[in-house]
Structure 1
C-alpha cells in the first residue's frame, strides 16, 4: 500500500459525503473547501501544507455541454481551464494568456487521467471549465462551446485546486458527474440524484489510483 493517501477536494459537504460513503479514509481523504476557485485554491493549499498526499483530485457535480456530456454521466478532465480569467474587449474576450499575465490552462496529470479512464471506461474525457459565474443563458453556452471546442463540462473549483496542486508539486486530476446541461437555468430539470449516484459509483476508481 502506498504510504501516502489521495486527497479529494469538493466544494460542498453533500459531494464530500457521497464520496466518503464509498471510500476507506486511510486511503483517500475527502474534504469540502467551499464554492468557487478562490475558496478551492485556498482550502486545497491549506490541506496540502498540513499533510503529504500523493495526488489531489477535484471532484463533484457539474454542468455538461449538450451533445458532449450526458446528464448523469461522468467526466474526466484532460485540462482545467479558467474560462473567465482575462479581459473583455470590443473584439471579444481575451484570456489571461494573451494578456501576458500567466496561464488560464492547467493540464491534468496524464498518469492519473490514464488510470481513471481505464477504471471508468464510460466516462467522457475533455476540458473542464472553471467559472466564477456559472452559465445561465443559451447565448453564454454557445459562446463557451465555440471558444472551447474540447470542453465537456463546467464547474467552479477545478482550476483553483489545480493551482494549489501545482504550487505544492502534487499530481492533479478533475472528476465530475453531470447534473444538468449548461444553458438556461432550470433547477427543476436538474437530476441531482443521478449525478450523486454517479459520483458514488466513481469513487472506487480514485481509491485504485497508483
Structure 2
C-alpha cells in the first residue's frame, strides 16, 4: 500500500508508527497531491509492483461537535467540499452541475476494520465520518456554518484527500483517508492549533492500524 501525506512532518509521523509502509509527501492541496500520487502509482505499476491500496493521511481541522482535538477521523466519505460554482441560490457542486463527482466512498469493510482497531484500549478517540477536502482552509464562522449546513455529518477538513482518491480511482484502486485533529474548524486562531499532539495521534493511529494494513488487499475492498 501507499500512504500519501502533504508534508514531511506528516510522512515522518506515519513512518514512525508503521515503518514498513511506503510513505510519500506529495505537497499541499488536491491538485499537487493528485498529480504526485498518480505519478507514483503509474511508476509502481510500470515496475511490475503495483499498489493495492492508497491511503491519504495527515493532520486536519476537526468539525465540532464530532471530532475534538487529538481525535482521529477515518473517512467513510471523501468529499470535494468546494469544487463547484457560487450561484445566486448558493453553492452548486460540480456534481449538481453535471460535470463530475464530488464524493469517493472508501471500502466499507476497510473503514470498519480501521475504526475497530483505533477504538482499542490506549488508542486515540476514533470517529468514522465524512472528511471534507478544500482548496481554501476554513477560517471564518460564516464559512463554517455554510460547510456544516451542506455536510452535517462531516467530522474533519483537509486539503488532499479527494486528490489522492481521484488518482487512486484512475487505476481502480481502493482509497482511504485518515486525519488526526490539530485544530477546530472555525475562525482562524493559529495559536490554538495543537500540531505536535496531532502528529503524535497520527503516529499512534498507524501503529494500531498495522494489522489491518497487513491483511490481503482483497479483504480491504
In which range does the TM-score fall when normalised by the shorter chain?
over 0.9
Q: Deviations over 1:140-167 (max 9, x none)?
A: 0111111101100000000000001111
The within-5 A match list for 1:33-44 is 33-44=26-37
- When normalised by structure 1's length, the TM-score is 0.94
CA contact (8 A) 2:10 2:59 kept: yes
CA contact (8 A) 2:17 2:205 kept: no
Match status 1:128 vs 2:131: yes
Match status 1:150 vs 2:145: no
CA contact (8 A) 2:4 2:37 kept: yes
2:182 aligned partner: 179
Q: In the alignment, which of 192, 195, 205 is matched to residue 195 of structure 2?
A: 192
Q: In the alignment, which of 111, 116, 119 is matched to residue 118 of structure 1?
A: 116
Q: Which runs of 5+ in 1 are unaligned?
A: 1-5
Larger deviation: 115-124 or 63-72?
115-124
Q: Deviations over 1:46-79 (max 9, x none)?
A: 1111111121100000001011100111100001
CA contact (8 A) 1:37 1:161 kept: yes
1:11 aligned partner: 6
1:90 aligned partner: 88
CA contact (8 A) 2:118 2:209 kept: no
1:3 aligned partner: none
Q: Which runs of 5+ in 2 are unaligned?
A: 45-49, 120-124, 216-221
RMSD: 1.0
Report how many residues are paired. 203
The 4+ residue runs of structure 1 with deviation greater than 3 A are: none
Measured in 2, the distance between the counterparts of 1:205 and 1:161 equals 22
Q: In the alignment, which of 34, 46, 60 is matched to residue 62 of structure 1?
A: 60
Measured in 1, the distance between the counterparts of 2:78 and 2:52 equals 19
Measured in 2, the distance between the counterparts of 1:110 and 1:189 equals 34
Match status 1:202 vs 2:205: yes
CA contact (8 A) 2:60 2:156 kept: yes
Give the C-alpha shift of residue 207 in structure 1: 2.4
* Secondary structure, aligned partner of 2:155: strand
* Secondary structure, aligned partner of 2:67: coil
CA contact (8 A) 1:64 1:152 kept: yes
Measured in 2, the distance between the counterparts of 1:68 and 1:22 equals 25
Give the C-alpha shift of residue 16 in structure 1: 0.2
